[in-house]
Each structure stands twice: as structure tokens, then as C-alpha cells.
Structure 1
Amino acid sequence: MNVESLLYIYLFVCAGMIVFNIVTAILLRKKDRKIAKVSEGFRRSVVLQLDRVRNGLEVEPAHKQYLARKLKRVGNMIAFDTMLEEMYIDNSLCARKYLSELGGVFVSLTIQYSEKNSTEAAYFPYIIKKYRLLADNSFPSITGLLMKLLTNPNLYCRENAMQALYTTGDCDCILKALKIIDNSDLFYHDKLLSDGLLQFAGNHRQLDDAILACFDDFSTDMKVALLNFLRFDSGEYCGFMESLLRDAQQNEEIRYSCIRYFGKYRHMPVYPYLLWLADGNNGLNWEYAAIASSALAIYPGEATVELLKKNLCSPNWYIRFNSSQILDRLGLTYLDLIDVMEGHDRYAAEIARYRFDRRKLLEKEAVTQ
């Protein structure tokens, strides 16, 4: 094939892409206009009901039937959502009261959305979460659908369902959901769980205690996610974390999570053990020393400094890097590390010099700003 033919093929592909983009833009614009038109139809109906709610009256049954019929289609649900966003801006209190009377409507929609494909089904729990429809009312049929969606292969379905369940404020409901996720074969990233649990709308102390009460029932991966959640949620569980950390039979990832917990909350009874873990010559995997070295940032003292200086000579780069980072955070000067800077370990001197150079650069930037 000669160059001229390749050029024509290239031009044909470019022309095809341009046509595709134009057609897509036209279709999207048409779709937006349709959503706006449907939203306006919803608005005319909802405004009348908001006036009733504002005057202390209930939403009319005919309006509920109208919504139950219309909202079966995802496109109409999107239009309804668009309209509600504007209503919330105008009068959030009245809009919330209006939505609180639509529980029966959303209960009736659970069957329809449970039979839709994953992408469309994911939108239903999104609406439940967005408007916190389960915050003040318990609807077993809606909760049941959300539990069912937790086993859906589509990640958006599972995450939206969990986000909706967090708004219930029900500890038992969350524990049940966690066990469903844990028993399924589907991958669920631990960060999604640990960050999501922080959004729990109920009493966090009760949730924490409930998790600890059945902690041993979960798999290792789920335990790690729960420990990460506890680290960001509360510093009240040092005793529990210490017992896990000192148990050499525990999975290493669990013990790593415990070390990170003590890097956030100071617990002096575990300090000597952290020093031992941070020693790169303790015979354990290098991850223990690397993570424990970082945890020592909130345990300033001579023993901490001496161990971190020793770790600067570690053959493991991560241990050296973390130790130098914490020494810098502790505010050590060139004179404090003179024995390292003028020692025989070139790598230790280089990483210490890097920290000093970086500190000077940051101080210079702070002055200029």
C-alpha cells in the first residue's frame, strides 16, 4: 500500500470521526431538550403539591399515582431529579417535606428497577441516597432491593446501593450489607468501604462497637477495610488495636493497619513495641519497619531519633525514605545528623541531604509567597 492510499484512509477516518462527533452532539442536545421538557411537566404538577405541603396539607393520591407511573422510566427519573434540584435551591425545607410523603411511590418503583439492566438500576439507589429518602423512614422493600444490588456485577450498582444504605443510620442494616459484600465473590475496593462508612448517618460510636462485636466473622480483606475505617473514625480503640498488633498469628495486612492506627493516635503502652517493629534488623518483613518508622512521627524522643537515624543506613529504600521523612518532620537540623552526614554510608547521607535541600526550598517558597 503506497503513501497516497494511506493518506486517503487517514482522511476518511478523520471525516468519520467528525461526522460521529456532530451526530453525537445533536443527539445529546435533543436529549437535553427532551429532559427539560419533561422536567417542566413535572414542575407544573409538583408546584401545586408544594403549595399544599406549605399550607399543611398532604400530597394528593392522584399525584402519587402519576409519579409512580411516570418514574418507571429512567429518562423521566432523570428529568424529575433535574426538577428537584431546582426545587431544593428555592425551598429545601418544603421540598424535603414533599419527598417524605413519597415513600410509597418509591416502594412501588422497587419492582420495576430491580428488573432493569445494571446501568439503569444503579440510578435508583443514587436518587435514594441523594435525597436521603431512607433517613427518616424505614421501607423494607427498598432496603431489600438495595441489598440485592450489592451482589450485582456492576460496581456502580453496588456502590450506589451502599451509599443509599449509609443514609439509613441503621447499624444492623450496615452490618448485614457488609456481610453480603464479604460473602460475595465480587471485588469491592477497601477504600470505597472505609471512606463510605465515614458517611454513615447514624451514631458512629454504636456502629464502631457493632463492627468490633462481630469483627472475627469477617474475611481478612474486609477486616482491613474496617480497621482503616476505624482509624479515620475514632481514637477510642487503642486497646483493641494493640491486641491485634501484638498477635503474631494475625494476617500481616491487619497488623499493618494497626500500626497505621497508632501512627494517628498516640498510645504510649505500644511505643516500645513500635520501636522494635521499626528496627529493620528485627527479622520481620521490611514493610513492618517502613510503616512503623512513619508511625513514630507522633512519638518524639531520643529513642525515636536514634532508631530513625539507624534506619537511614538500611539497605531498603522505603525504610530509608520514611525514616528521613519523619526525621525532617521532627525538625532535626544538620548538626543533629552530623554523624550521618559525615559518616561512611553514602546513601544515608544523600537522603538526609535531600531532606535538608527540600526543607530550604519549601522555606524559600513560603517567604516569596
Structure 2
Amino acid sequence: MFVQILIYVYLGICAGMILFNIATALLSRCREHRSFRDGIHLELTVSQELDRLAETGAVSERHLRFMERRLRRVNGMAAFDAALECLCVRRPELTRSYLTALNGVTIALAEDYCRRDEIEAAYFPYIIRKYRLLDGQENEALKTMLLDLLHESSIYCRENAMQALYTAGDPAVLVRALRIIDASSLYYHSKLLSDGLLNYTGDTWELADALWEAFDAFQPWMQVTLLNYFRFSSGAYCEKIHALLNDPAQDDEVRFACLRYLGRYPYPPAYADLLRYATPSENARWEYAAIASSVLASYPGAETAAVLERNLYHPNWYIRFNASKSLEQLGFGYRDLIDVIEGNDRYASEILRYRFDVRELEERKEDAVCTTV
């Protein structure tokens, strides 16, 4: 009898779970249908207002009030997003004029969304970035609200706010944003910032001037971030980077970033210094020799070959590996380095053999692809 009761209880639980899943699926389907219907209705409403805008050159106050009420709900904002995706394709110029006319509504909504929970607060700057609502606009109120979001604990809020600020084309506001992040105790990954700065939509030379002007005021980790941005954006700063590299007052990580920059953009006046950094020293961190050994792949020459060959015998694996990789990239082969390969240092010989074997495998793979094609 007890076993039968347990079976009935188990069947009841299973039936309840099935009913719950069915109800959840039906509710989800209803929400999707309602969201699609709202999107179509809102698209028609906005499309009609675009017609009016084309005729009169203005958006009605009634429509502005309607949109402010509608967009205060996240579902309404999602429907508006779907509508704009279609309208931006069909009527791009009118849609841009329409979004400009919604500027007052945007500010009012920003004040509301910034007070909400993290997910909803993060959604609003996403819309600003997606449709570039700050592009070409002197909207200080909206920029200030985005800067306020940088104090939020959620990385989604902070990153979406930064992505929106990149579209403003305003170097001054970006410097303010970076100072807020630099002074904050909240963690922000350096790569998010260096990659994000590459999305800047304004004059990149003005941005670079503003960043260099504020450079010394930042902490070392932010300075490294900016140097990484410069490394991926332009080779026009070699002279400044070279001066930073030779400044002993700079943090080691900053100088490492300078070495990487000079590896991407060869700068002949720095060659002698790179050879010096590639030579291991007891008074310097081993990273200098490791990074400089990698950088020398961009500086072919007899002195480069001599330094790299010497580094093959260094006890530090990273220095040996980078030296072998640079020699391989410079075109050296088995015959050029036969003394090392057949020498008594097993580690130097093995790391060179490994690099040359990798190169041979890659060449075979390329030949196989060419033959197949």
C-alpha cells in the first residue's frame, strides 16, 4: 500500500511538472505574439509620423507624449527597437530626423531608466549606441547621465554606457569617462576599453591629442590601456612611445606596452635601445628581454641575429621561445643555425627544432590547400 501511494505521488508530481511546462510554453508564446503585434503597431504609428514629418518638418506634441509613455516600459522599448530596425532600412534619412526630434523624450527616459535595476538601466544606453542618438548632438544632459552609469556595479551598465559615449564623437567626455573608471574601485577589463576606443566615431586625431594630454594623470593600468589603443590605431606616435620607453620613472608595465608598440611599428631610432632591452640583465626584469626578443622580429640585421641567437641559451623559457620565434620569422633555417641545433644545449636545440617543424607543417598545410583548390 505504501509503495502504491509513493507511485501515485510521483505520478502527481510528474503531471504537475508537465502542466507547468505547458503553461510556461503557452505564456511564452503569448508574450512573443503580443511583442510582435506591439512592434507592428508601433512601426505603423512611427511610419505615419514620419509621413507627417516629411510634410510639415516637425513631430507633433501628441506623438511625443505618446512615445514618452510607451517607451517607459521595457516591452515598449523593445518594440520600438524592432520598429526602428525596419524603418532605418526603408527610410534612413527621415528616421534620423525623427530620432533627433525625440531628443527631449530621450532625456526624460534616461532619467527614468537610470533609476531602475541593472538590466533595464543597461538596455537604454544600448539603444543610444545602436541608433547613435548622440552622434552630432550637443546633448550634455544625456552625456552626464551616461557618465553617472559608470558608477554602477554592473559591468553591463558601464560597458553599454561607454559604447554609447564612443558614438558621441566628443573627446572631452571620453576623457572624463576614463577618469571616472580610473578612479573607481570597480574592476574594468583593459581590453574592453582599448577595443572600445577603436569604435570612436569622431575625429581620432582629436581623441589622440586629448588622451595624450591627460596621459600622465592616469594610473599605470589605464596608461597601458591607452598605449594598447594607440598600438592598434596608428603608428604616428613612435617618437612619444620611444621617450616613454626610456623614462625610468615609468611603470614597468607601461614600458612593456611601449616595446610592443615599437614591435608593431618599426622605428629605426629605437633599434639600439631594443637590442639593449633584449640583452638580459640582473638589474632588469626578465620580461624586458622576453618582449624585446619578440619585438626584434621587426628589425632584421646582423646585430638582431646575434642577440637572438645568444638568447636561445638563456635559462628562462619565455626568452628562449620568443628568440626562436623571431629567428624563424626572420627567415632563418636549419643551416643558418646548425651550430645551435647540433650544439650541446639541449633546450636551445629543441626549441629551434620545434619552431622549424611548426613552420614546415604550416607550409605543407598551405601547399595542400593550394593543391586542393
The TM-score normalised by the length of structure 1 is: 0.92
Aligned equivalent of 2:127: 127
Partner SS for 1:300: coil
Aligned equivalent of 1:351: 351
Instruction: Compute the RMSD of aligned alpha carbons.
Output: 2.2
Give CA deviations for 1:262-294 in whole Å, capped at 9, x if unaligned.
011111111111111112245411111111111
Cα displacement (A) at 1:56: 5.7
Cα displacement (A) at 1:28: 3.6
Cα displacement (A) at 1:91: 2.6
Give CA deviations for 1:218-266 in whole Å, capped at 9, x if unaligned.
1111111111111112212122211211122211100101001101111
Cα displacement (A) at 1:158: 0.3
**Aligned equivalents of 1:13 and 1:292: distance in 2?**
66
Aligned equivalent of 2:308: 308
**Aligned equivalents of 1:277 and 1:28: distance in 2?**
62
CA 140–18 in structure 1, closer or farther in 2 if over 3 Å, else same = farther
Residues 189-208 of structure 1 mapped to structure 2, 5 A cutoff: 189-208=189-208
Residues 36-47 of structure 1 mapped to structure 2, 5 A cutoff: 36-47=36-47
Aligned equivalent of 1:249: 249
Contact 1:313 1:348 in 2 (8 A): yes
Determine if the alignment matches structure 1 residue 153 to structure 2 residue 153. Answer: yes
- Residue type at the aligned position of 1:183: A
Deviates most, 18-27 or 229-238: 18-27
Cα displacement (A) at 1:55: 3.9
Contact 1:122 1:156 in 2 (8 A): yes
Deviates most, 230-239 or 168-177: 230-239
Cα displacement (A) at 1:34: 2.1
Aligned equivalent of 1:277: 277
Aligned equivalent of 1:337: 337
Any gaps of 5 or more consecutive residues in structure 2? 1-10
Cα displacement (A) at 1:88: 1.8
Aligned equivalent of 1:4: none
CA 296–77 in structure 1, closer or farther in 2 if over 3 Å, else same = same
Determine if the alignment matches structure 1 residue 261 to structure 2 residue 230. Answer: no
Partner SS for 2:313: coil
Any gaps of 5 or more consecutive residues in structure 1? 1-10
Aligned equivalent of 1:175: 175
Cα displacement (A) at 1:202: 1.1
Determine if the alignment matches structure 1 residue 293 to structure 2 residue 293. Answer: yes
Contact 2:136 2:169 in 1 (8 A): no
Determine if the alignment matches structure 1 residue 324 to structure 2 residue 348. Answer: no
**Aligned equivalents of 2:323 and 2:97: distance in 1?**
55
- Residue type at the aligned position of 2:234: S
Aligned equivalent of 2:217: 217
Cα displacement (A) at 1:26: 4.3
**Aligned equivalents of 1:352 and 1:12: distance in 2?**
69
CA 24–350 in structure 1, closer or farther in 2 if over 3 Å, else same = farther
Residues 104-115 of structure 1 mapped to structure 2, 5 A cutoff: 104-115=104-115
Cα displacement (A) at 1:300: 0.6
**Aligned equivalents of 1:144 and 1:331: distance in 2?**
54
- Residue type at the aligned position of 2:102: L
CA 42–298 in structure 1, closer or farther in 2 if over 3 Å, else same = same
**Aligned equivalents of 1:198 and 1:217: distance in 2?**
21
Aligned equivalent of 2:164: 164
Determine if the alignment matches structure 1 residue 364 to structure 2 residue 356. Answer: no
**Aligned equivalents of 2:320 and 2:268: distance in 1?**
24
Cα displacement (A) at 1:301: 0.7
Give CA deviations for 1:126-158 in whole Å, capped at 9, x if unaligned.
001100001021222211110100100000000
Aligned equivalent of 1:6: none
**Aligned equivalents of 1:142 and 1:321: distance in 2?**
50
**Aligned equivalents of 1:37 and 1:31: distance in 2?**
10
**Aligned equivalents of 1:287 and 1:195: distance in 2?**
24
Give CA deviations for 1:149-192 in whole Å, capped at 9, x if unaligned.
01000000000001111111111111111111111111111111
Q: Report how many residues are paired.
A: 360
Cα displacement (A) at 1:15: 9.7
Aligned equivalent of 1:58: 58
CA 14–287 in structure 1, closer or farther in 2 if over 3 Å, else same = farther
